[in-house]
């Protein structure tokens, strides 16, 4: 429940009454809510020279009848009538202290009541001018109290043609009356009426009418009461009761002979909850292998043909009983669909294994070829044979690649005066002498590289024998091959 915090704006329209310079000023209209306070302003404009104020009287006028509320007299002081004594006082302290000046005689109403609504008169008695007065209309408003409730503690789902009031929203004792609307996703309609009370307030009652159903269970209904542009809301959650809606699960259409661990389960949607489950076998007596455990029917041991038939489950709550059935068919072997699923599963598993093996083989081949490429990137035609041992079958010098004929020593090399500078490193005479010397004394054979400014190459300790059983030393810059040839490291390694 909510409490309104809205206040009506107090209406202040000046009313003036009087002649010959003596006037009384009041607000023509004022308003307030029950339980609050309001000021009724009254001022006297005196003339010059001023007249003598003998007394000021506040009166309440109802249906032409006047009733004194409060009196201020310069000589006798202030008097408030018993009906208003605890709720009305003069605002100006000078008036309460018997001061001779009574130009401001505003009064304050506390704890307003609906019965305070009336026309009030502020009357000045002067000498010798006589009486002067002005009036103010006081309107009292009442905030309604909003309350929402279910029409009955128990709402039972019925047929589609049965409509009933499921909830009621009341905005009580409002002045002016509130306007009630509904906020919900439910399919229904509102029936609203106003009830006028003896104190002048109005009670608004709105009933929400719909067909109770299972779908409406736990749905929210919100009542909105709008009063002077302010809103109060209240809501309820519907509690719709309905009999069980039953279904059975467990039979997958593939119950075959000797299959084990099968069961049937009874599922029920109900409000209130199901109090009991009952299984029935419509083809005779329940099989001996069947055992009921609350909502489940368990079959012990392997499946047999005696288990075939129609099974029914009854679920009961306080509203009624719901039922469902299933026909169990027993086959000699697993269904083709099931077998196909098994074969498909095996095929998929085999494909996965084969794919894994194939992928591993591809990876190994890639690694092998990659390493092979890093081992030799040159042309095998560049292999150099070790003298006559090209393929290990002949010692003929024709197997050796011919040396370049145009390779000469650089001119800037410094040779001793007494040493003859060869004109052509690879001349036939030079080659012949070298070969002849090799045949005569193979161990004395020494080869020089003419490539890098006549720098002598270092020899490694590895030796190879030619076709004649002799051995020669091979440069560390050459890599021996299985066929007896050698390849430079620049061509062999990356």
Annotate 64-132 with DSSP letters as a single string: TEEEEEEEEETTTEEEE-GGGTTTEEES-HHHHTT-S--SB--EEE-S--GGG-EEEEEEEEEETTEEE
Closest CA to 190 of 208, 203, 204, 178: 208
Structural domain boundaries in the chain:
14-141, 145-238, 243-331, 336-373, 380-492
pLDDT (0 to 100) of residue 463: 41
Q: Which two tokens stand for residue 379?
A: 């042309």
Is 243-331 the same fold as 145-238? Answer: yes
Q: What DSSP character marks residue 214?
A: G
Tally Cβ neighbours within 10 Å of residue 221.
Answer: 23
The string of DSSP letters for 289-331 reads TEEEETTEEEE-SS--GGG-EEEEEEEE-SS-EEEEEEEE-EE
Q: Do 299 and 255 meet the contact criterion of CB atoms below 8 Å apart?
A: no
Closest CA to 281 of 291, 294, 270, 293: 291
Q: Do 259 and 250 meet the contact criterion of CB atoms below 8 Å apart?
A: no
CATH code for the structural domain at 14-141: 2.60.40.10
Closest CA to 105 of 14, 45, 41: 41
Tally Cβ neighbours within 10 Å of residue 486.
Answer: 19
Q: Do 106 and 92 meet the contact criterion of CB atoms below 8 Å apart?
A: yes
User: Phi/psi of residue 141, each to 5°?
Assistant: -110, 155
Burial of 141: CB neighbours in 10 Å, binned 0-12, 13-18, 19+: buried
Domain 243-331 has CATH 2.60.40.10: yes
Q: Among 2.60.40.10, 3.40.50.2000, 3.40.50.970, 3.90.1150.10, what is the CATH number of 145-238?
A: 2.60.40.10
Query: How far apart are the C-alpha atoms of 330 and 281, rounded to whole Å?
Result: 15
Per-residue pLDDT of the chain (494 residues; tens, 9 = 90+): 333 333 333 333 344 444 446 789 999 999 999 999 999 999 998 877 788 888 999 999 988 899 999 999 888 889 999 999 999 999 988 787 766 678 899 999 999 999 999 999 999 998 888 889 999 999 999 999 998 888 887 889 987 778 899 999 999 999 999 999 999 999 999 999 999 999 889 999 999 999 999 999 999 999 999 998 889 999 999 999 999 999 999 999 999 999 999 999 999 999 999 999 999 999 999 999 999 999 999 999 999 999 999 999 999 999 999 999 999 999 998 876 555 555 655 566 666 666 777 888 888 887 766 665 554 444 444 444 444 444 334 344 444 344 444 444 444 445 444 444 444 444 444 344 443 444 445 444 444 444 444 444 343 434 434 444 444 444 556 666 656 666 665 555 54
Q: What DSSP character marks residue 343?
A: H
* Exposure string over 56-76, b if 16+ CB within 10 A, otherwise e: bbbbbeeeeeeebbbbbbbee
Helix/strand/coil for 366: helix
Q: Which two tokens stand for residue 233?
A: 């809301």
Closest CA to 30 of 171, 179, 135: 135
Instruction: Work out the end-to-end distance of the chain between its first and last CA atoms, rounded to an integer number of angstroms.
Output: 89
């Amino acid at each position: 429940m909510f409490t309104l915090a809205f206040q009506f704006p107090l209406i202040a329209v000046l009313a003036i009454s009087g002649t010959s310079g003596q006037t009384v000023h009041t607000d023509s209209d004022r308003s307030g809510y029950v339980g609050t306070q309001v000021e009724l302003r009254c001022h006297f404009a005196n003339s010059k020279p001023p007249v003598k104020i003998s007394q000021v009287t506040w009166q309440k006028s109802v249906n032409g009848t006047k009733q004194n509320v409060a009196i201020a007299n310069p000589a006798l002081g202030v008097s408030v009538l018993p009906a208003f004594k605890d709720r009305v006082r003069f605002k100006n302290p000078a008036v309460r202290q018997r001061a001779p000046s009574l130009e401001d005689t505003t009064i304050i109403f506390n704890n307003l009541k609906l019965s305070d609504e009336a026309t009030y008169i502020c009357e000045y008695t002067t000498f010798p001018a006589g009486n002067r007065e002005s009036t103010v209309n006081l309107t009292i408003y009442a905030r309604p109290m909003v309350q929402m409730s279910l029409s009955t503690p128990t709402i039972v789902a019925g047929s589609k043609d049965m409509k009933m009031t499921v909830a009621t929203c009341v905005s009580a004792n409002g002045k002016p009356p509130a306007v009630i609307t509904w906020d919900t996703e439910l399919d229904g309609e509102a029936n609203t009426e106003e009830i006028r009370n003896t104190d002048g307030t109005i009670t608004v009652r709105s009933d929400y009418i719909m067909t109770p159903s299972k779908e409406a269970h736990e749905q929210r209904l919100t009542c909105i009461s709008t009063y002077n542009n302010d809103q109060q809301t209240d809501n309820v959650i519907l509690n719709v009761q309905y009999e069980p809606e039953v279904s059975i699960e467990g039979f997958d259409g593939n119950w075959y002979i000797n299959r084990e661990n099968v069961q049937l389960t009874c599922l029920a949607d109900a409000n209130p909850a199901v109090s009991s489950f009952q299984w029935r076998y419509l083809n005779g007596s329940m099989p001996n292998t069947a055992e009921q455990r609350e909502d489940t029917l368990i079959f012990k041991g392997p499946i047999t043909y005696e288990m075939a038939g129609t099974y029914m489950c009854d679920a009961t709550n306080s509203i009624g009983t719901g039922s469902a059935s299933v026909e169990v068919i027993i086959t000699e072997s697993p269904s083709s669909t099931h077998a196909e699923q098994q074969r498909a599963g095996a095929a998929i598993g085999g494909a996965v294994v084969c794919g894994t093996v194939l992928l591993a083989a591809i990876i190994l081949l890639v690694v092998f070829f990659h390493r092979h490429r890093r081992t030799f990137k040159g042309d095998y035609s560049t292999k150099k044979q070790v003298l006559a041992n090209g393929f290990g079958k002949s010692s003929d010098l024709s197997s050796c690649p011919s040396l370049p004929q145009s390779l000469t020593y650089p001119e800037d090399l410094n040779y001793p005066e007494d040493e003859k500078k060869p004109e052509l490193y690879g001349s036939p005479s030079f080659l012949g002498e070298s070969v002849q010397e090799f045949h005569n004394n193979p161990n004395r054979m020494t080869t020089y590289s003419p490539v890098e400014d006549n720098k002598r190459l270092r020899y490694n300790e590895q030796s190879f024998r030619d076709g004649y059983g002799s051995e020669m030393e091979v440069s560390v810059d050459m890599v021996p091959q299985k066929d007896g040839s050698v390849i430079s490291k620049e061509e062999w390694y990356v």
